[in-house]
Amino acid sequence: MTDEHGPGRVTAGFREVYGTEPGGVWAAPGRVNLIGEHTDYNDGFVMPLALPHTCLAAASPRADGVLRLHSGDAPGGVVELRVEELSPVAGGAGGGDRGGWAAYPAGVVWALREAGLLTGREGGAELHFESTVPTGAGLSSSAALEVVTATALNDLYGLGLTPPRIAQLCQRAENAFVGVPCGIMDQMASACCTEGHALFLDARDLTQRQVPFDLAAAGLRLLVVDTRVKHELGDGAYASRRAACEAAARALGVPALRDVPFEGLDATLAQLERLGHDTATRRRVRHVVTEDRRVEEVIARLDAGDTRSIGPVLTAGHASCRDDFEISCDELDLVVETATAAGALGSRMTGGGFGGSAIVLVAEADAEAVSKAVTEAFAAAGHRAPRIFPAVPSAGARRL
């Protein structure tokens, strides 16, 4: 990482805003998900990797219970709050970031206070953020912002939190304070990923395994294609998909769809039909159950050292997101169709859907031609030019 976006710049930013030296600088990355979409809130499997793009925070503690937040990436000045007074309502929560960007870090401080880790009277802080994670692109800029906040406070206050615990508190902040019903994947990815690996995570008990993911050794590249669109229906659709999954699990008498065995899937779908569930619900279930299976398949192939062969599994995952879970959109479908037609090994949407980003697995030698084909297809369709860059599996949250 150059110092353009490094400790020097964010320290200078802190100095300018607060007039003092920060107590330290922390980083937390954005992520792409290799496979396992909408499985985390079904207690299933996911496999994200951290991007080199990070949210940096320069921070100092305050002993007077005042929280001061500033972002070099958001308009407006310093947001000043009292830790003691933070509450989901006072924070302007409910429905994404309508309460303003500061709801994300403020929510983290609230979650730490709620967990009895910070006292409202004394546990304050000053934070200044600068991020290279594109926002709203499905690459988890929000989780990076949360996790860098929690990691900084963990160190400044000696809280002794492990990365998974940090992830859980950040998820609570996003769910209960910001008002976004997200699963645990994004925060776990930002907190726990390691360089050169994908993170195999069981979202039920948070057991994890770092799976070596050496693209260069395999002569491959994983491209991220940021479509730069975010369709409005995304937020409501996320909540309704989640509700449909939970209703189906209840009807089937299992704790979560993760407990529906892949082998018995046809019988389960027939059972749901008998119970009066519509075809849409049955397709949602089929996506979740087959997607968990695809995560296991990708891991088996990576463990066998056959990285190339995960390509068709990724593309099958896209078809399932598009047809069964119905969370894709024209732009994402166009990336996948164009990339695979132009010689990519596999491609799929990544993240919540309805815009955001897709990933493309491609032989190094074909990367340029595939990128060009996607860019041209977007121009021909009248879409804004996509942003394309390689995903290099990078480190999780850390002090710099």
Question: Binding site for substrate: residue ranges?
Answer: 37-40, 238
Q: Examine residue 177 and tell whether it contacts ligand ADP (CB under 6 A).
A: no
Q: Which residues pair with 211 in a beta bridge?
A: 198
Annotated binding-site residues for Mg(2+) read 142, 174
**Closest separation in Å from C-beta 116 to Mg ion:** 27
Judged by CB under 6 A, the residue of 135, 175, 227, 320 near ligand ADP is 135
The smaller minimum CB distance to Mg ion, of residues 142 and 149, is found at 142
Q: Which of 187, 181, 227 is nearest to 356 (CA)?
A: 227
Q: Which residues contact 259 (CB under 8 A, 6 or more apart)?
A: 43, 249
**What secondary structure does DSSP assign to 215-274, as a single string?**
TGGGTEEEEEEEEEEE-TTHHHHHHHHHHHHHHHHHHHT-SSGGGS-STTHHHHHHHHHH
Q: Assess contact for 8 and 163: CB atoms under 8 A.
A: no
Binding window for ligand ADP (CB under 6 A); candidates: 14-22, 107-115, 128-136, 245-253: 128-136
Known binding-site positions for ATP: 71, 136-142
Closest distance between Mg ion and the C-beta of residue 97, in Å?
A: 9
Of these residues, 186, 226, 324, 366, which one is catalytic?
186
Q: In the complex with Mg ion, which residue's Cβ is closer, 134 or 386?
A: 134
Binding to Mg ion by residue 142, rule CB under 5 A? yes
Name, in order, each residue with C-beta under 8 angstroms of 243's C-beta and a sequence gap of 6 or more: none
For residue 116, give every residue at least 6 positions away whose Cβ sits within 8 Å of its Cβ, in sequence order, or none: none
Q: Does 26 bind ligand ADP (CB under 6 A)?
A: no
Determine the residue with CB nearest Mg ion: 142
Choose one: 3-11, 86-94, 97-105, 120-128; the region binding ligand ADP (CB under 6 A).
97-105
Listed residue (293, 277, 202, 201) closest to 245, CA to CA: 277
Residue 364 tokens, joined: 């190094």
Name which of 5 and 15 has its Cβ closer to ligand ADP. Answer: 5
Task: With contacts defined by CB under 6 A, name the span among 70-78, 160-168, 258-266, 387-395 that binds ligand ADP.
Answer: 70-78
Confirm or reject binding of residue 132 to ligand ADP (CB under 6 A): no
Q: How far is the CB of 69 from ligand ADP (least distance, A)?
A: 9
Segment lying near ligand ADP (by CB under 6 A), choices 80-88, 131-139, 307-315, 363-371: 131-139
Contact 391, 359 (CB under 8 A): yes
Under 8 Å CB-to-CB from 313, ≥6 apart: which residues? 35, 294, 297, 298, 301, 346
User: Binding of ligand ADP at residue 45 (CB under 6 A)?
Assistant: no
Give the Å distances, CA to CA, from 334 to 209, 247, 253, 278, 348: 33, 32, 39, 29, 10
94 binds ligand ADP (CB under 6 A): no
Q: What are phi and psi of 374, to 5 degrees?
A: -65, -45
Q: Of Mg ion, ligand ADP, none, which one does residue 73 interact with (CB within 5 to 8 Å by kind)?
A: ligand ADP
- The reply on whether position 101 binds ligand ADP by CB under 6 A is yes
Residue 97 annotated in active site: no
Task: Single out the residue of 96, 92, 32, 46 nearest to residue 236, CA to CA.
Answer: 96
48 binds ligand ADP (CB under 6 A): no
* Site map (CB under 6 A) of ligand ADP, residues 139-168, x = contact: xxxx--x-----------------------
Binding site for Mg ion (CB under 5 A): 142
Indicate which residues carry an active-site annotation.
186
Binding site for ligand ADP (CB under 6 A): 55, 71, 73-74, 97, 101, 104, 129, 131, 135-142, 145
